[in-house]
């Protein structure tokens, strides 16, 4: 097999000189270390990430110490540097806690593991025509094929070669990992080529050829599990470091003229590691080659006694076993994929069903709300805590007081910085994604009686409210003045459009507003006051009646709201 290798032109000239001077012939191939290179790259990336993360935490620790000299406590930190201060403080406080162990312990483990795989990575192995050349740093070690007496394997990879003088030629496991189909196979073939002729001579002399726990004789093979006779044995294989044999199981064995008659069929038997350990039974590849050579020699006799030689039967059975195994694996993989697809599809199916149910329920809610919004609604005592009809009310400010009385809602405003009010709609505020249900043409009215406050105390009726923000507003005050204003979409700017004076000043007003997409008409005490043309908003999420007064008032102001009426026209 080694004669079929093409010479690697990338091998340096000094390697040729070393191989020639040590008597191992011409270097043909350099052993590849791809798995080891991948491990090293992953190790280096992990190491750099851990070091970078550790440096990041140390930087935060030092930076916070320097920053704390400028700002002794968090209250002295400027607002624009507060986020940076908190971030550095977290790094400072966590450096010498359990979090630091999450960095230091893995980093220490990575550093200690470096000595495990770096020496194999530094080791260079060359396959030569007459042996092996190994170089580690400046140490050169060689071994010739014809001076090897034992080959030890681990997991199918060659790890130790024993010379005739019992000296060991070690091959690091990480260096040989994943090489059983290439370098390990080449070594095993060359050692077999050198040892097999001598072992065949010993066998033909009638001697017992020993492979530690395995023994080959003229009768058959002895292994820790018992004796297998040649007439029983069909084939022996060594795959992935596992030894298996095909032989017949006998119910009765009779010998007559060196013939054995069977009453049962054969099958492949795996000689488990507990019985035949590759680590303690060297030269398993040589053992397999010797046994198969003997079986080939005995093939003519088998062919005379049976239509199909036992070795051929073993190959057929092995092929069927492999096919059955592939079928089982395919069935298992298919079953796993089916189960996984079911596990994935069931939540998806359930989610689709839940979504369909949610959509159906949402549609029912939309239909119900739409029906309610297209019918008139009257509340003699309006408000969140007073009216328990099938609408949604919401207090504007929780700091103010809302008292339910028989003649109406008494609203007392304590927080004078904002306008107080009660929002009216047909759905809770968390469901506005369902859409606008209040029609584009409607009228709304409320009776407002100012109880306390100065001449500048005003009551209001607000329409076309856009999700509690943008709106159009009519105000009527205790001194008889009125005004119309609009708030932009986010109520950042409130603009007064027009204003005027009622012919009278009263504490009680029946305020009504007729709303369309373009015209809004204000009526007070059933008398038309003004019609405003304004197309800023056309849809309505909420309607609100409110109360406000002098921002510098020393006493709370209050008003009584009653007889709220909503009438849709389309």
Say if residue 461's pLDDT is above 90: yes
In the chain, pLDDT over 70 holds for what percent of residues?
Answer: 84
Residue 315 — pLDDT band, cuts 50, 70, 90? low
Q: In this structure, what are the phi and psi dihedrals at residue 422, rounded to the nearest 5 degrees?
A: -130, 125
Q: How far apart are CA 466 and CA 440, in angstroms?
A: 13
- pLDDT beyond 50 at 261: no
Where does 377-568 sit in CATH, by number?
2.60.120.560
Please answer whether residues 468 and 541 qualify as being in contact, where contact means their C-beta atoms are separated by less than 8 angstroms.
yes
Tell the residue number behind the tokens 């009228």, with chain if given.
443
Instruction: Report residue 463 as tokens.
Output: 């329409």
Sign of the alpha-carbon dihedral angle for 203, 205, 206, 208: negative
DSSP annotation of 32: P
Q: Could you tell me which residue, 357 or 105, shows the higher pLDDT? A: 357
Letter string b/e over residues 18-27, b meaning 16 or more CB atoms within 10 A of that residue's CB: bbeebebbeb
How far are the Cα atoms of 27, 418, 421, 485 from residue 559, in angstroms, in the given order? 105, 15, 11, 21
Q: Which segments of 467-507 are extended strands (E)? A: 470-477, 481-487, 494-501
pLDDT at 534: 94
Query: In this model, does residue 120 exceed pLDDT 50?
Result: yes
For the segment 131-145, the average pLDDT, to the nearest whole number, is 91
Spatial contact of 501 and 492, defined as CB atoms under 8 Å apart: no
Q: What is the DSSP string of 259-319?
A: EE--SS-EEEEEE-TTTS-TTTS--HHHHHHHHHHHHHHTHHHHHHHSSS-HHHHHHHHHH
Residue 476 banded pLDDT, cuts 50, 70, 90: very high
**CA-CA distance, 133 to 233, in Å (whole number)?**
39
Which has the higher per-residue pLDDT, 370 or 485? 485
Gyration radius of the chain over CA positions: 47
- pLDDT value, residue 431: 52
Rounded CA gap, 22 and 147, in Å? Answer: 13
Tally of CB atoms within 10 A around 215: 16
| Cβ neighbours of 528 (radius 10 Å) | 11
**pLDDT of the residue at 331:** 84
Question: 206 — alpha (psi -120 to 50), left (phi > 0) or beta?
Answer: left
- Does the pLDDT value for residue 497 go beyond 60? yes
The sheet carrying 157-163 orders its strands as 148-154, 157-163, 168-170
Q: What are phi and psi of 255, to 5 degrees?
A: -110, 130
The stretch 185-212 carries a mean pLDDT of 90
| Segment 145-196, tens digit of pLDDT | 999 999 988 877 888 999 999 899 998 887 887 665 688 888 888 999 999 9
pLDDT at 259: 44
Q: What is the pLDDT of residue 422?
A: 93
Position of tokens 């407002």?
A: 448
Mean pLDDT of the chain: 82
Left, alpha or beta for 370 (phi > 0: left; psi -120 to 50: alpha)?
A: alpha
pLDDT at 323 over 60: yes
For residue 386, pLDDT beyond 90? yes
Strand partners of residue 445? 512, 565
- Split at pLDDT 50, 70, 90, the class of 510 is very high
Of 107, 103, 71, 105, nearest to 89 (Cα)?
A: 71
Range ranked top by mean pLDDT from 32-36, 69-73, 121-125, 206-210: 206-210
Nearest to 91 by CA among 119, 58, 53, 137: 58
Report the pLDDT value the prediction gives residue 313, as an integer from 0 to 100.
65
**pLDDT at residue 260 is higher than 50:** no
Residue range(s) occupied by CATH 2.60.120.560 in the chain: 377-568
Query: What does the block give as tokens for 361?
Result: 């329920």
Beta bridge partners of 411: 402, 559
Least confident of 302-311, 328-337, 520-529: 302-311
Whether the predicted pLDDT of 441 surpasses 90: yes
Report the distance separating Cα 424 and Cα 272, nearest Å: 82
Query: What is d(CA 460, CA 559) in angstroms, rounded to the nearest whole number?
Result: 11
Q: Is the pLDDT of residue 304 over 60?
A: no
- CB hemisphere CA count around 147 (13 angstroms): 14
Phi (first) and psi of residue 74, to 5 degrees: -65, -25
Rounded Cα–Cα distance for residues 211 and 151 (Å): 11
Task: DSSP letter for 207, please.
Answer: P
- How much of the chain exceeds pLDDT 90, in percent? 32
- Confidence label for 514 from pLDDT (cuts 50, 70 and 90): very high
The whole-angstrom distance between residue 361's C-alpha and the CA centroid of its chain comes to 33
pLDDT bin (cut points 50, 70, 90) of residue 256 is very low
Q: What is the mean pLDDT of residues 444-459?
A: 93
C-alpha distances out from residue 265 to 27, 235, 545, 555, Å: 49, 14, 98, 109
Which residues, other chains included, contact 432 with Cβ-Cβ below 8 Å and sequence gap of 6+?
Answer: 467, 541
Q: Are 211 and 305 in contact (CB under 8 A)?
A: no
Is the distance from CB of 421 to CB of 561 less than 8 angstroms?
Answer: no
Among 118-132, 177-191, 244-258, the least confident range: 244-258
pLDDT at 278: 52
pLDDT at site 102: 63
Higher pLDDT, 545 or 419: 545
């Amino acid at each position: 097999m080694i004669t079929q290798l093409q010479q690697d032109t990338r091998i340096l000239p000094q390697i040729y000189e070393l191989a020639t001077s040590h008597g191992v012939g011409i270097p043909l191939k350099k052993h590849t270390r791809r798995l080891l290179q991948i491990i090293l790259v992953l190790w280096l990336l992990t190491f750099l990430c851990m070091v970078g993360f550790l440096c990041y935490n140390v930087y935060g620790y030092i930076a916070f110490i320097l920053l704390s000299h400028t700002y002794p406590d968090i209250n002295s930190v400027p607002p624009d540097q507060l986020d940076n201060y908190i971030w550095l403080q977290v790094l400072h406080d966590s450096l010498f806690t359990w979090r630091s162990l999450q960095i230091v312990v893995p980093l220490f483990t990575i550093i200690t593991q470096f000595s495990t795989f770096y020496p194999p990575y530094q080791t260079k192995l060359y396959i030569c025509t007459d042996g092996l050349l190994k170089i580690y740093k400046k140490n050169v070690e060689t071994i010739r094929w014809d001076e090897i007496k034992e080959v030890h394997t681990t997991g199918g990879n060659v790890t130790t070669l024993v010379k005739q003088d019992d000296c060991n030629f070690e091959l690091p496991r990480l260096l040989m990992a994943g090489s059983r189909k290439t370098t390990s196979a080449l070594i095993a073939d060359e050692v077999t080529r050198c040892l097999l002729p001598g072992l065949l001579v010993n066998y033909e002399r009638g001697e017992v050829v020993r492979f530690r726990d395995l023994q080959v004789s003229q009768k058959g093979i002895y292994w820790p599990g018992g004796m297998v006779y040649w007439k029983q044995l069909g084939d022996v294989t060594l795959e992935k470091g596992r030894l298996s044999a095909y032989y017949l199981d006998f119910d009765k064995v009779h010998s007559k003229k060196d013939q054995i008659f069977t009453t049962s069929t054969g099958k492949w038997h795996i000689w488990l590691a507990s019985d035949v350990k590759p680590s303690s039974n060297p030269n398993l590849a040589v053992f397999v080659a010797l046994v198969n050579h003997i079986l080939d020699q005995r093939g003519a006799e088998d062919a005379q006694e049976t239509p199909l030689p036992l070795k051929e039967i073993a190959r057929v059975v092995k092929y069927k076993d492999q096919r059955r195994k592939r079928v089982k694996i395919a069935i298992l993989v298919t079953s796993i994929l089916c189960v996984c697809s079911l596990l994935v599809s069931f939540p998806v199916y359930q989610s689709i069903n839940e979504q369909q149910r949610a959509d159906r329920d949402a549609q029912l809610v939309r239909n119900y709300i739409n029906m309610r919004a297209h019918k008139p609604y009257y509340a003699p005592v309006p408000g969140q805590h007073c009216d328990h009809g099938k609408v949604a009310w919401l207090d504007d400010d929780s700091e103010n007081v809302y008292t339910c009385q028989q003649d109406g809602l008494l609203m007392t405003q304590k927080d004078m910085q904002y306008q107080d009010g009660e929002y009216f709609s047909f759905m809770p505020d968390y469901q506005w994604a369902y859409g606008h249900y209040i029609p584009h043409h409607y009228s709304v009215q409320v009776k407002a009686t100012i109880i306390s406050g100065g001449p500048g105390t005003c009551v209001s009726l607000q329409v076309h409210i856009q999700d509690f923000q943008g709106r159009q507003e009519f105000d009527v005050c205790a001194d008889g003045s009125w005004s119309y204003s609009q708030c932009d979409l986010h109520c950042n700017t409130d603009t007064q459009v027009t204003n005027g004076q009622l012919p009278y000043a009263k504490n009680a007003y029946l305020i009504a507003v007729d709303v369309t997409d373009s015209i809004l008409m204000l009526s007070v005490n059933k008398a038309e006051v003004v019609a405003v043309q304004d197309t800023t908003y056309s849809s309505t999420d909420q309607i609100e009646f409110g109360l406000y007064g002098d921002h510098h008032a020393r006493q709370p102001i209050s008003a009584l709201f009653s007889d709220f009426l909503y009438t849709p026209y389309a």
